[in-house]
Amino acid sequence: MITMKLTITKSSNFKTKPDPSSLSFGKHFTNHMLMMNYTEGEGWTSPQIVPYQPITLDPSAMSLHYSQSVFEGLKAYRTEDDRILLFRPEKNFERLNRSSDRLSIPAVNEELVLSYLKELLLLDKEWIPTTEGTSLYIRPFIIATEPNLSVAPSTTYTFMIILSPVGSYYAEGINPVSINVEEKFTRAVLGGTGTAKTAGNYSAAYKAQVGASGLGYSQVLWLDGIEKKYIEEVGSMNVFFKINGEVVTPALSGSILEGITRMSTIELLAEWGITVSERRLSMEELYQAYEKGELEEAFGTGTAAVISPIGELNWGDKKMVINNRQTGDLAKKLYDTLTGIQTGKIHDPFNWTVEVN
Amino acid sequence: MITMKLTITKSSNFKTKPDPSSLSFGKHFTNHMLMMNYTEGEGWTSPQIVPYQPITLDPSAMSLHYSQSVFEGLKAYRTEDDRILLFRPEKNFERLNRSSDRLSIPAVNEELVLSYLKELLLLDKEWIPTTEGTSLYIRPFIIATEPNLSVAPSTTYTFMIILSPVGSYYAEGINPVSINVEEKFTRAVLGGTGTAKTAGNYSAAYKAQVGASGLGYSQVLWLDGIEKKYIEEVGSMNVFFKINGEVVTPALSGSILEGITRMSTIELLAEWGITVSERRLSMEELYQAYEKGELEEAFGTGTAAVISPIGELNWGDKKMVINNRQTGDLAKKLYDTLTGIQTGKIHDPFNWTVEVN
């Protein structure tokens, strides 16, 4: 019988939780995971929470060959009074379905999968670290599973959620990074998959990332794929600049990921009376602002780091040192406010957080 | 001990071979497969042929999340005198390594993996179908296996080869197809991964493919990602046009796959005294040639179909019926010659075929 009732099989083999002080990103996983399968004609059925374990796939499973897969990333936080908070999780599942649409993957019921996530979190609640800056990273993802080498959408899929306790993105607090402007490789282009959180976008960026690392930069700033002039993203984050008092971020051009931290940053700034200009911004314009001393701050926004200030931008033979390689006031205030809301330390006037209980 | 000596574990559970007349593409797999693992610091080690079986992956395996994976496609043929022939297999493994380089995947030893493929083919020789138009499709692929959600190259990989008996691409012989020119979605752009056979390129194309199917077209013709003017590929094939006696194919622009059938077609035509013009070709130019009655033939080239004549091209509100929807003389001669060489039916003056024994 097809059922959408969640079944739970508890793990009897509890793993040792990692030391919170040694947590990195995405290397430790909790005791349980969620799985749900899709079959053409039946839809998504039989959601189940099972012990965290390897999955088996036919070697011809379509996701391995043609990358028909999408994912999301969000975090759960444990508050000082031991509540579990999620940050705008409905936005993640909305985006998951948008990504799936782009990849010809069937949509999930957003409310149902959020309810399953909550069950999973309650079961592995003890894995949510409480140390300053730590959290439980949540990775929902969908993979095509049909054993078939035809280049066509799969008729079967698996939706999963796995959980990973992660450390503070900044070992010593929020810290500006150095970024290389990538002029050769392209992340995404209009008509491509840049707005979707799909697997192929990420490994496609490794070559540029490895090149930047070799030059001593921690991330890449991506330009548009057509004219190689306009700023798109930085690493796997959206990017903001404060230029002569104005906050500017690249408009969602059709090749930029619609970041939820980006959206929250814009809404938070609006609340503070600061209108963000979402528009095209060329490197040339940015450099001219820099030369005039008007480039006051630059920072990335994303789930992993929340706010990541940029201390240096390298564009070919031009080097821009921003705000003396110090975290700017605006980046600091955004980071403190967003993480404060996420962890329940400060009042959430937007009702962004969702309590799990 | 680390060894590059191939170990073979024979299957004891022999599957029933599919009826050659019912063969489709990539749905049946032989009794054995090849696996070889890579670990940072050790390189590729311990190649083994094992019974065809599901693989196990950690749910956080990097290939599932970030699609760090590449593949190849080639075919084995059984000749009338029961020899096994491969078609330019060294070109496939060269390209595999080029794809891997783009995806930051470590290279394999091309000669060694070809020798492993030969062993695998000898073991599953009986699975090579002999009916006209059938063959054994060979799928080498590499997937990132490290259990880690960091967006960075994996430190572990698995290389595999699986084999699939496939039917004639044309149930009733070579048959022209109808193609829709895609104007919204983009396959690839300069600086992206278009020249690599990497998983992400393929599912990214599904949305356009599904759209074209809904309009009654069997494939999509891709335009360049920058100006949306110039012809790049058709479906997952390269494309050729015969215009007023001249054969034209899009130049390898940095976003087009370097097809081995494309290369062979160009070399074969040169042998016949026909120089292929590898250059930019816009839809506008093609349409003008069509209106002047100069568009004589159009066909795709690829491993699966070898030569796939195009009977109709739909470009927005403009419809081009090519050669009365009949297979052109040139396409037919190329198909007959290439498949003749591949199956050992005609002399191979180029030494393209490699015998497995």
The CA distance from B140 to B125, in Å, is: 17
- Provide mean pLDDT across the span A209-238: 96
| Of A54, A103, A204, Cβ closest to residue B58 | A54
- Provide mean pLDDT across the span A249-263: 97
B49: its two tokens? 């042929």
Q: How far is B271 from chain A (nearest CA, A)?
A: 33
CA angle, corner B242, sides to B225 and B252, nearest 5? 35
Distances (CA, A) of A110 to A117, A136, A163, A350, A355: 11, 20, 18, 21, 17
A206 contacts on B by Cβ (under 8 Å) = 68, 103-104, 152-153
pLDDT of B23 reads: 87
pLDDT of A141 reads: 98
- Provide mean pLDDT across the span A49-72: 98
Interface contact B104-A203, CB threshold 8 A: yes
| Of A33, A59, A193, Cβ closest to residue B162 | A59
Longest Cα separation, chain B: 69
- Pick out chain B residues at pLDDT < 70: 1-3, 170-173
Closest Cα to residue A44, out of A95, A124, A137, A116? A116
pLDDT of A243 reads: 98
pLDDT of B1 reads: 46
A191 contacts on B by Cβ (under 8 Å) = 184-186, 225, 228
Q: How far is B165 from chain A (nearest CA, A)?
A: 11
Bridge-partner residues for B198, per DSSP?
B70
CA angle, corner B148, sides to A240 and A164, nearest 5? 80
The CA distance from B168 to B21, in Å, is: 9
Q: Which residues, at least 6 apart from A112, have a Cβ–Cβ distance to it below 8 Å?
A: A4, A47
Q: Is-contact B70 B336, C-beta < 8 A? A: no
ipTM: 0.96
pLDDT of B171 reads: 62
Size of interface A-B (CB pairs under 8 A): 224
pLDDT above 50 for A156: yes
B137 contacts on A by Cβ (under 8 Å) = 149
Q: Is-contact A315 A181, C-beta < 8 A? A: yes
pLDDT above 70 for A213: yes
Interface contact B205-A151, CB threshold 8 A: yes
| Of A104, A203, A228, Cβ closest to residue B210 | A104
| Phi/psi of residue A262, nearest 5 degrees | -60, -50
Read off the amino acid at residue A162: I
pLDDT above 60 for A142: yes
Domains and CATH numbers, chain B: 7-166 (3.30.470.10), 177-342 (3.20.10.10)
State pLDDT tens for residues A88-111: 999 999 999 999 999 999 999 999
CA angle, corner B215, sides to B213 and B217, nearest 5? 55
pLDDT of B298 reads: 98
Bridge-partner residues for A320, per DSSP?
A313
Portion of chain A with pLDDT greater than 70, in percent: 98
pLDDT of A1 reads: 47
**Candidates B52, B56, B67, partner chain A, best to mutate (most A CBs within 10 A):** B67
The CA distance from A168 to A335, in Å, is: 13
**Candidates B55, B56, B63, B64, partner chain A, best to mutate (most A CBs within 10 A):** B64
pLDDT of A48 reads: 98
Q: How far is B253 from chain A (nearest CA, A)?
A: 14
Bridge-partner residues for B307, per DSSP?
B301
How many other β-carbons are positioned within 10 Å of the β-carbon of residue A270?
11
Interface contact B60-A162, CB threshold 8 A: yes
Distances (CA, A) of B153 to A64, A122, A206, B7: 16, 33, 7, 28
pLDDT above 60 for A173: yes
Interface contact B67-A68, CB threshold 8 A: no
pLDDT of A15 reads: 86
Interface contact B25-A147, CB threshold 8 A: no
B209 contacts on A by Cβ (under 8 Å) = 151-152
Bridge-partner residues for A139, per DSSP?
A162
> For all residues of chain A together, what is the average pLDDT?
95
Q: How far is B143 from chain A (nearest CA, A)?
A: 7
Portion of chain A with pLDDT greater than 90, in percent: 91
The CA distance from B95 to B110, in Å, is: 10
Q: Could you tell me what percentage of chain B is helix, strand and coil, using 3-state DSSP and rounding each to the nearest 5? A: 25, 35, 40
3-state secondary structure at position B291: helix
Burial class of residue B22, CB neighbours in 10 A (0-12, 13-18, 19+) = exposed
